Amino acid sequence: MSVLDFEQLVNELDDNISRLRAAAVREGRADATHEADSMAQERDTLLREFFAHGLTPWDEVLLARHKDRPYTLDYVPMLCEDFLELAGDRLYGDDGAMVGGFAQFGGSPIVLLGQQKGRDLKERQKRNFGYPRPEGYRKALRLMQMAGRFGRPVVTLVDTPGADSNVPSEERGISEAIARNLREMMILPTPTVAVIIGEGGSGGALGIAVADRVLMLEHAIYSVIAPEGCAAIIWRDPTRGADAAKAMRVTAKDALSLGLVDEVIPEPLGGAHRSPDIAGAAIKEAVARHLQELAGRPTEELLAMRFAKYRALGRFTGGDADSPPPAFGAVGNADGPPPFQPITGAEPVPQSI
């Protein structure tokens, strides 16, 4: 049984509980209140047992895409105050799939960025179904550079299936826009924290996720391509998305074990969509803690830590003459230091690329 099939059963229990509680208020029935409480305990027990057995990678994909899962603009009022959204990239136009602006976080000013999908058809069209266009990434870069000039930390909320790949976006330089963001985020002279709240899809996610600390919600996913896209390429069968999700190791637990993220933020029982306030509070606590750890560090130290973090990803080590040859795709380096060696604090950090 998939997590969505199981959730249908839970939703039926929720409906019955709501009807019983309404009857208890309307008719003053104590027995209805007692029955509703018993049914709520039964529901929570079912949820705990189902999630305790462990979700499949495909279940995690379904939860990350859940229609009721909180999006960036749902979390904004939970995380900060006085959010002032800014629009436009000062080059072409605005992009509804990317939102951002200034805000107060725990009494301190920050720049908050995030990707937005939309709830109904009209909003989804406005937000391009969560696929950011070039102007979205250029808007994000404009805001991040403002944060660097003003000394404000940057917090990003990542939730996209990927960047827009339609012809107009290709014509306006979607690949260049993402690549420039990757470069500029590496040398941004201010603390940065990224939180993957739903789908972390390919370069579309990376365009705002090259941060000092990368956090990930428990039921979010992080991948180089959508599982269905991978299945279509590898097996010529997009219906094998579940097999691809398992092979690609897209879950938060996998990302943590691979060193791609720094922390997995627990979600409420059943997923963030069941208790958005609890999920928002957990995100706020984690972000505040990591910003506190980064606060006050000299820019040189901050950049050195950031360079070391990303240069350590995907490192390969060579063996001696008696070792078998490296597997296909592995990098051998018999002479000299291992490739992708992290820089040390003593090495100069480039201020531009």
**Tens-place pLDDT, residues 262-281:** 999 999 989 999 999 999 99
Q: Are 197 and 267 in contact (CB under 8 A)?
A: no
Q: Binning pLDDT at 50, 70 and 90, where does residue 335 land?
A: very low
Convert the pLDDT of each residue in 65-106 to its tens digit.
999 999 999 999 999 999 999 999 999 999 999 999 999 999
The whole model's pTM is what?
A: 0.84
Q: What's the whole-number mean pLDDT along residues 55-60?
A: 92
Share of the chain above pLDDT 90, in %: 71
SS3 content of the chain, % helix, strand, coil (to 5): 50, 15, 35
Q: What's the whole-number mean pLDDT along residues 280-284?
A: 97
- Domain residue spans of the chain: 3-54, 64-296
Q: Are 342 and 312 in contact (CB under 8 A)?
A: yes
| Nearest-angstrom CA–CA distance, 273 and 195 | 16
Q: What's the whole-number mean pLDDT along residues 321-341?
A: 44
CB under 8 Å to 270, separation ≥6 — which residues? Answer: 7, 10, 47, 51
pLDDT at 340 over 60: no
pLDDT at 134 over 70: yes
Q: What's the whole-number mean pLDDT along residues 156-182?
A: 96
Q: What's the whole-number mean pLDDT along residues 285-311?
A: 95
CATH number of 64-296: 3.90.226.10
